[in-house]
């Protein structure tokens, strides 16, 4: 499997795109990296950081020679971008994306792209509440999980190439069906993010809460500082799982509320113990991590 590309195009030079550009350059995985942005000012930062070699405001100009195309725009814009890439890219180009929901996007590709398909969806578990090429780092993907689409109808070589790409920038790849991906991510990411925003909103109308907000509040609400349009798109492209999981969350909160109202000591112990155990189960290897 080749992980060296003559020409790579990164559509969207934000944190994820520009960091991938830096990693491709630093690890010599692409000879030339083209970047596409919506604003020249953002492209200029990516150019200055060395994340891309050439900046483009026009997608078709940027991708026409590319062997690798990585769509790094918000989830809502990816279906239209897939249409454009299918129309303008070289037929043997390998195409992937980096968005946090997969079912809507992979279904769109399955319905519109030829089989076997050379677009393979990806979701790197990287990024933070920071965004923009100014925060890009070449090791963003190092040691992170990247979830790569699996299923019928995919081009085997393209699938292997996408996996090899992420491994080449240091990531640990896990294959997953897009619908199952979205069901699980609603639980581990999308609804937790909504809850983080909702918890931050509990402080509305209060003044000078800084003395009352400790490390717990700070950690819990950290992701609420993220970009609204990113999370709006995630909700819209995974609405079924997000809705269902929000119901599940409200149901657990209602159990806590009932136990508090009834001053049910045993039930409160059980609920907090369940939460503690669930947290330790996910991060058992990090149980001693005090960070």
Residues 220-279 that bind a second copy (CB under 8 A): 220-226, 228-229, 231-232, 235-236, 239, 242-243, 245-250, 252-254, 256-257, 259-261, 263, 265, 268-269, 271-276, 278-279
161 is written with which tokens? 């190439």
Task: Between 57 and 225, name the residue whose CB sits nearer to a second copy.
Answer: 225
Judged by CB under 8 A, the chain residues 29 through 58 that form the site for a second copy are none
Q: What torsion, rounded to 10 degrees, do the Cα atoms 110, 160, 93, 32 define?
A: 140
Strand 172-176 relative to strand 145-149, pairing: parallel
Q: Mention every residue, 6+ apart, whose C-beta is less than 8 A from residue 172.
A: 143, 144, 145, 146
Least separation in angstroms between residue 157's CB and a second copy is 24
Q: Name the 3-class secondary structure at 263.
A: coil
- For CA atoms 165, 166, 168, 174, the dihedral sign is negative
Q: What torsion, rounded to 10 degrees, do the Cα atoms 228, 230, 232, 233 define?
A: 160
Instruction: Say whether residue 282 binds a second copy (CB under 8 A).
Output: yes
Q: Residue 65's Cα: distance from chain center in Å?
A: 26
Instruction: Say whether residue 143 binds a second copy (CB under 8 A).
Output: no
Instruction: Say whether residue 163 binds a second copy (CB under 8 A).
Output: no
Task: Between 91 and 214, name the residue whose CB sits nearer to a second copy.
Answer: 214
Instruction: Say whether residue 112 binds a second copy (CB under 8 A).
Output: no
**CA nearest to 36, candidates 14, 19, 67:** 14
x/- map, 67-106, a second copy, by CB under 8 A: ----------------------------------------
Judged by CB under 8 A, the chain residues 172 through 211 that form the site for a second copy are 172, 174, 181, 184-185, 187-189, 191-204, 206, 209-211
Strand 68-71 relative to strand 5-11, pairing: parallel
Least separation in angstroms between residue 266's CB and a second copy is 9
Judged by CB under 8 A, the chain residues 118 through 137 that form the site for a second copy are 125-126, 128-130, 135
Of all residues in the chain, what percent are helix, strand and coil, respectively (each to 5)? 55, 15, 30
Instruction: Say whether residue 285 binds a second copy (CB under 8 A).
Output: yes
Count of residues near a second copy by CB under 8 A? 93
Task: Between 16 and 85, name the residue whose CB sits nearer to a second copy.
Answer: 16
Strand pairing partners for 9?
34, 69
């Amino acid at each position: 499997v080749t992980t060296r590309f003559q020409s790579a195009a990164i559509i969207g030079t934000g944190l994820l795109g520009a960091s991938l550009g830096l990693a491709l350059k630093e690890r010599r995985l692409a000879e030339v990296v083209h970047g596409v942005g919506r604003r020249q000012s953002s492209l200029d930062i990516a150019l200055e950081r060395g994340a891309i070699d050439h900046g483009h405001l026009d997608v078709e100009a940027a991708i026409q020679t590319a062997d690798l195309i990585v769509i790094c725009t918000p989830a809502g814009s990816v279906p239209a971008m897939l249409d454009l890439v299918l129309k303008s890219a070289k037929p043997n180009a390998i195409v992937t994306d980096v968005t946090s929901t997969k079912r809507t996007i992979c279904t769109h590709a399955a319905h519109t792209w030829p089989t076997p398909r050379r677009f393979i969806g990806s979701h790197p578990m990287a990024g933070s509440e920071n965004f923009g090429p100014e925060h890009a780092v070449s090791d963003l993907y190092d040691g992170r999980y990247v979830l790569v689409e699996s299923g019928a109808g995919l081009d085997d070589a393209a699938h292997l190439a996408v996996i090899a790409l992420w491994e080449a920038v240091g990531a640990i790849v896990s294959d997953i069906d897009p619908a199952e991906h979205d069901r699980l991510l609603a639980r581990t990411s999308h609804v937790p993010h909504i809850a983080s925003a909702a918890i931050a909103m509990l402080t509305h109308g209060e003044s000078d809460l800084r003395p009352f907000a400790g490390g717990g509040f700070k950690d819990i609400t950290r992701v609420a500082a993220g970009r609204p349009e990113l999370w709006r798109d995630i909700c819209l492209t995974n609405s079924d799982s997000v809705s269902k999981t929000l119901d599940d969350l409200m149901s657990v909160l209602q159990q806590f509320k009932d136990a508090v109202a009834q001053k049910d000591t045993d039930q409160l112990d059980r609920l907090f113990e369940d939460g503690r155990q669930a947290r330790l189960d996910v991060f058992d290897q990090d149980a001693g991590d005090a960070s």
